[in-house]
Amino acid sequence: MAGEKLLISRRSSMPKHESLRAAQVAVMKDVGYVQKKGRVGSGNYGYTYAGEKELIAQLRPSMIKHGIVMYPDICEVVKTEDYTTSKGHRMSLFLGKRRFCFEHVESGEQAFVEVFAEASDQGDKRASKAMTLAKKYALREFFLIETGDDPDAQVSKRAVGNEDFLKKAISAIKQTPLEGLDEKNEAIVTAKEIKWTDDELIKINDALIKRREELMNEGDT
Quote the crossing angle between the two packed helices 163-174 and 198-220, to the nearest 10°: 10
Alpha carbons within 13 angstroms on the beta-carbon side of residue 162 total 22
Among the listed residues 98, 92, 176, 180, the one whose alpha carbon sits nearest the alpha carbon of residue 133:
98
* Geometric angle at alpha carbon 114, from 157 and 215, rounded to 5°: 80
pLDDT tens-digit profile of 148-200?
A: 544 444 444 443 457 788 888 899 899 988 888 877 887 887 776 677 777 78
Among 21-25, 85-89, 177-181, where is mean pLDDT lowest?
Answer: 85-89
DSSP class per residue in 46-68: -EEE--HHHHHHHHHHHHHHHTE
Give φ, ψ of 193 to 5 degrees: -85, -5
Whole-number Cα distances in Å, 64 to 136, 144, 149: 18, 18, 25
pTM over 0.85: no
